[in-house]
Amino acid sequence: MDELIKRAKELLEAGTVKVVIGYENGSADKTRALFAIEPKDADKLIFDSRCVMNLATYITKAEVKGKGKMAITATLPVMRAIIQLASEFQVNDSNLLVLGITPESKMIEFKDLAEVEAFVHKYTIEIEAKYSEKLEKLDKMTPSERWSFWIEELSPCFKCYACRAACPMCYCHKCTVEFNQPQWIPVPSHDLGNLEWHMMRAIHLAGRCIDCDACYNACPLGIPLNLLTKRMLIDAKEHFGGYQPSIKADHLMSTYKPDDKDNFIM
Amino acid sequence: MSKIGVFVCHCGENISATVDCARVAETSGKLDGVAYSVDYKYMCSDPGQSLIKSAIKEKGLTGVVVAACSPRMHEPTFRKACAEAGLNPYMCEMANLREHVSWVHEKGEATTEKAIDLVRILVEKVKYNQSLNAIKVPVTKTALVIGGGIAGIQASLDIANTGHKVILIEKDPSIGGHMSQLSETFPTLDCSQCILTPRMVEVAQHPNITLYSYAELESVEGFIGNFKVKIRRKSKSIDEKLCTGCGLCTTKCPVKKIPSEFNEGLGMRTAIYVPFPQAVPNKPVIDREHCTYYLKGKCRICEKVCPIQAIRFDQEDTIEEVEIGAIVLATGFSVKQPDFFPEYGYGKYPDVITGLQFERLASASGPTLGEIRRPSDGKVPQNIVFVACAGSRDEAKGIPYCSKICCMYIAKHAMLYQHKVHGGKSYVFYMDIRAGGKNYEEFVRRAIEEDGVNYVRGRVSRIYEKNGKLIVKGVDTLLGAMPVDIEADMVVLATAGVANSDAEALAQKLHVSYDAYKFFAEAHPKLKPVETNTAGIFLAGACQSPRDIPESVSMASGAAVKVACLFSQDELTRDPLIAVVNRMAPPVYSSCVGCFLCVSACPYQAIEKEEIKNRAGEVIKTLARVNPGLCQGCGTCVAFCRTKSIDLQGYTHEQMYTEVMALLNEY
C-alpha cells in the first residue's frame, strides 16, 4: 500500500491532519491499530486481508480525537460505522478525513463525509449465507429451546467487555451496565447477568449496528454475539424497510411513521 | 428516615366490598417507614381529606400514599390536600385499588393481597420521591375551530364573543355543513337555512374570526395553551381578494354534469362552482379533478369571462402556520350510502335514497325546488316508504349504536311529504320510536295522528323492483308478525350516521382518543362530555356521536366556555413530571454523549441541543436538553437513552427500580 503510505506522509507533513489511523503488523502474525503522528510512523502502515478490526472504534476516543484532525484508513465496514457515527454527531468533516479502501483494495480519498456516504450507499448490508442458515435454525426452535441455546452460549461469558471495546457504536462514556443508581443490568457474570448484558447491547445496536462482526471477532470465547445483531438487521428489513447508515436519516428505532407495521407487537 | 402515611379508601362500597380495607391499612402500617395508616369510607370527602391533613401535621409525615381510585380521578384532589397541610404535593402518590383491584377481581384473599402489594410498592416509591415545583407556561389566546358546520359556527361565535381570536377552518368551499342541506327542522318545522345563514354571515363578518374555507389541518405540535398548527389552504384557483362573487364564471363553465355534493348527487354543478347560493364565503372554487383545463390543458373559459381577471390557474396550496391555545373539533359526521345495503339493492335503484337526499328534495333550494319528485323520472311518488334504522342498531352491519336523529327526521320527512303531496300515502317502518326531547314525542304523534303517516313496527327484509314499482317486503310485529308488502314509488332509508372517513387519521394527528366506531371520545362520559383526553382539545357536535342541531349547538357553547375558561388565565400551571438530562461536575458535565437519538424519539419536539462553553466561549461539549415547557413527561426518551442520562421527574429510574424490587421481593 505504497499509495496509502505516501498520502499519509503528505497529510502529516503538511499538517492537514494530526494523526493517521491505520493498521500495522502486530505480534503473532496479527495486525493492530497504528496511530501515525510523525510522517515516519506512516512507513509502518499496511493493508491486507488480515486487517479486519474496525478502526472506527478509535475515532470517538478522547485520546485520539483530542490530537486534532484525524485521517483514517477505512474499509467498507469502517466507512459504514463512520456514517452512523456522523449521524450521531460524533464525527464530522472538520475532524475526520477518510482514506477509503474499496472492496477491490483500491484507495480513494474522500473530499467529505457526504462522498463517503454516497460510496457506502452503493452497497447494501447483506447477511452472509452461513449466518442466515444459523438464524433460520434458531427461528425454527421453540422459545424454550432458544432460551436454552442462548443461556448455554452465553454462560462462558465473564464480562471482559471486549465486545464493547471493539464495537465502534459503543462509544458512550458511561455504559448502561455502569449505571448503578439503580443497577438495572446486573454486573456479575451469572446466567441472568450475562443474558441481560448481551440483550441490552443488542437492543442498543438495533438500527445502528453496521454488521462488521467486530464484537464476535473480539470475543475471546467465540460467543456468536453477532447472531443477535444480525437478527436485528433482518427484523429491520422486514418491519422498517431495511437499514443503511445515513448522515441525515431519522433513526430506525426512534422514528414513528403512521404506516409502520405493528406486527412485532405480540 | 421516612414517615409515610397510608390512607386506604373504601370508596363507599366500590373497594371495600371486594378488598379488606382494614387489613390493607393494618398491614401497610407495619411496613418499614410507614408512620401512620388508616382506612376510611370516603377519603376524597372533606372529612377524609382532613384525616390526611391532620396526620401530616400531627405525625410530621414526609410522604403520603392514598390507596383509592385512579390517579386520573383524584390525584389532584389529594395532592392539593397535602399541599394545604404543608407537604410538597409531589410527595403524595396514589395506589389504584378501584380500577386495578376491586373492579376487576372477585372478593377474596388474593384480591386483598394484591391491594397490599400495590400499596407496598408505592410506599417504597414515595421514599425516593422528591419535592417538585409546578411549571408555569403562557397561554396563546387564539382558538382553532375545525369544521364549519353548525357546531363549529356556534363554537366560533361564542369564543369570538368573549373577545378572543378564533380561526375557523372548513374543508369544503363553504361553511354551513349538514345543517345547510336540511329542508326544515324538527320539531318546529322552521326552515334550516333561514336560521343558519344569518349565523354563517355573522361568522364571516365577525372581527375576531378568521375564516379559512377550503382548508384542512396539516399538522399539530405542542400542547395546551401552546399548539403550533399548520393549516393547508387548498388552492381555490381564484384570487379571493379580487373576486366579487358575481358568479359569471359558474354560468359559463362548460363542465356542467358533476354530481353536486351539496345536493347529495341529486343535482349537477359546474367545475368552477359555489356549492349553494347562500354559501359563505360566496366565492367560487375550481374543482381540479373535473376542470377541463387541469385535465386536458385547454378551456380557460372562466378566465376569459371573468370581468376582473381573478382566475389563477397556477395558484398552489399554501401552508399557514399559526399559534393556537385551544382547539375545538367540530368535524361532524357522514351517513351511510344505499350501496351499503345489499338487501335494499346495493344502491342500484335510483329511487331508493338516503334521508339526506330526501332533505334536498324537500328543500326549497334543492334540485326540485322543494317538490317531492323521485330521482329516476321526476314523478311525484304516490306511495313512499321510510325505513328507520337502516344500518343503525344492527350488530350484523357493525353498527350496534342508535343514530339518534333518524326517528325524528323520519317523522319530519313523512310530515313534509304529506303536506306537499296531498293524497299521497306514506309508511314508516320502525323498530322503536325514540323521541326523547322537548316537544319531540308530540311531534311524532302529530305525524301519526294529524298527518296520517302509517307507522308499521317492523323491519324491512328486502326491496326489489317489479313492474316499475319498488316492492318493500316488511313485517308488522304488532299484528303477530304479519308480512307487509308495499308497492312504493320511492323509498327513503334513514341510513346510519357514521364517523367521517378521515376521522381516525385526524384523531391520530391530534392525539385524541376515539371509540370503536371512530367517533372522537370524550374525556368522561358524564362529567367531561366536551373535553378530550388531550388537554386543550375540545369536542362539539356530531364528531363525538350522532347529534341533532340543539344538542350540537349546546355542546358547541359548552366547548366554547371551556376555551374561554382556559383563555381567562395568562399562565397555565403544569405538573413538573418532565424529563431532565443529568448534569455532573466538570470535566464530565453529563453522562449524555450527545448522540441526539432522543431528538427523533421525542413526540413533542421537546429536546434541543445545549452547548457547554468554556470561559473563552469555545464549545467543550454538546448535550441534549429537555425544554420543560414542551415536555409532556411521556418517558420515551428515558427508555431510548443508552447511557440513562435522562430521568423522568416523579418517575425516576430509582423510583421505578424500587417499585419493581418491592414487588419481586418478599416482605
Domains of chain B: 4-134 (3.40.50), 235-316 (3.30.70), 334-498 (3.50.50.60), 579-648 (3.30.70.3270)
Domain boundaries, chain A: 2-120, 129-240
Least confident of A117-121, B281-285, B340-344, B586-590: B586-590
Confirm if B40 and B8 have CB atoms less than 8 A apart. yes
Confirm if B143 and B159 have CB atoms less than 8 A apart. yes
Quick one: pLDDT band at residue A257, thresholds 50, 70, 90? low
At B449-476, the pLDDT tens digits run 999 999 999 999 999 999 999 999 999 9
- pLDDT on residue B72: 85
Residue B643 to residue A179, Cβ atoms within 8 A: yes
At B553-606, the pLDDT tens digits run 999 999 999 999 999 999 988 889 999 999 999 888 999 999 999 998 888 788
Summary mean pLDDT of chain A? 92
Distance CA B134, CA B638 (A): 21
Distance CA A213, CA A225 (A): 9
Statement: residue A264 has pLDDT above 80: no
Confirm if B596 and A89 have CB atoms less than 8 A apart. yes
Q: Which strand (E) or helix (H) includes residue A105?
A: none
At B408-454, the pLDDT tens digits run 999 999 999 999 999 999 999 999 999 999 999 999 999 999 999 99
- pLDDT on residue B327: 98
The three three-digit cell numbers of residue B484, written as one number: 307487509
Amino acid at A221: L
**Which residues lie across from B483 on neighbouring strands?**
B475
Does A250 reach chain B within 8 Å, measured CB to CB? Answer: yes
Distance CA B147, CA B216 (A): 9
Residue B588 to residue A258, Cβ atoms within 8 A: no
- pLDDT on residue B370: 93
- β pairing state of B272-273 and B482-488: unpaired
Q: Is B634 exposed, middle or buried (0-12, 13-18, 19+ CB in 10 A)?
A: middle
Residue A173 to residue B588, Cβ atoms within 8 A: yes
CA-nearest of B119, B123, B73 to B97 is B119
- pLDDT on residue A261: 64
CA-nearest of B2, B55, B45, B1 to B25 is B55
Statement: residue A258 has pLDDT above 70: no
**Nearest by CB to A184, which of B598, B603, B657?**
B657
Distance CA B484, CA B459 (A): 10
Confirm if A42 and A93 have CB atoms less than 8 A apart. no
- pLDDT on residue A254: 81
- pLDDT on residue A260: 65
Q: Which strand (E) or helix (H) includes residue B563?
A: helix B549-567
Query: Rounded mean pLDDT of A240-265?
Result: 77
* A:B CB pairs within 8 Å: 57
**Nearest by CB to B654, which of A89, A173, A181?**
A181
Residue B643 to residue A173, Cβ atoms within 8 A: yes
At B157-178, the pLDDT tens digits run 999 999 999 999 999 999 999 9
- pLDDT on residue A266: 55
Which residues between 72 and 91 in chain A have a beta carbon less than 8 angstroms from any beta carbon of chain B? 88-90
Confirm if B606 and B627 have CB atoms less than 8 A apart. yes
Does A260 reach chain B within 8 Å, measured CB to CB? Answer: no
Statement: residue B407 has pLDDT above 90: yes
ipTM of the assembly?
Answer: 0.91
Q: Is B362 exposed, middle or buried (0-12, 13-18, 19+ CB in 10 A)?
A: buried
- pLDDT on residue A70: 96
How many Å lie between the alpha carbon of B391 and the closest alpha carbon of chain A? 30
Residue B642 to residue A250, Cβ atoms within 8 A: no
Which residues between 481 and 510 in chain B have a beta carbon less than 8 angstroms from any beta carbon of chain A? 505, 508
At B351-367, the pLDDT tens digits run 999 999 999 999 999 99
**Nearest by CB to A176, which of B597, B643, B654?**
B643
At B510-543, the pLDDT tens digits run 989 899 999 999 988 999 999 998 889 999 999 9
- Give first-to-last CA distance, chain B, whole Å: 19
What percent of chain B clears pLDDT 90, i.e. is strictly above it? 92
How many Å lie between the alpha carbon of B496 and the closest alpha carbon of chain A? 29
Tell me the CA distances in angstroms from A229 to A131, A176, B267, B580, B600, one per residue in order: 11, 18, 62, 30, 22
- pLDDT on residue B400: 96
How many Å lie between the alpha carbon of A108 and the closest alpha carbon of chain B? 28
Long-range contacts of B180-184 (CB under 8 A, 24+ apart): B180/B262, B180/B276, B180/B278, B181/B262, B181/B264, B181/B356, B181/B359, B181/B360, B181/B363, B182/B359, B182/B363, B183/B359, B183/B360, B183/B362, B183/B363, B183/B364, B183/B366, B183/B370, B183/B416, B184/B362, B184/B412, B184/B416
Confirm if B194 and B182 have CB atoms less than 8 A apart. no
DSSP one-letter code for A177: G
Residue A89 to residue B603, Cβ atoms within 8 A: no
Whole-prediction pTM: 0.71
What percent of chain A clears pLDDT 90, i.e. is strictly above it? 83
Residue A174 to residue B597, Cβ atoms within 8 A: no
Query: Rounded mean pLDDT of B228-232?
Result: 97
CA-nearest of B148, B160, B174 to B206 is B160
Distance CA B449, CA B443 (A): 10
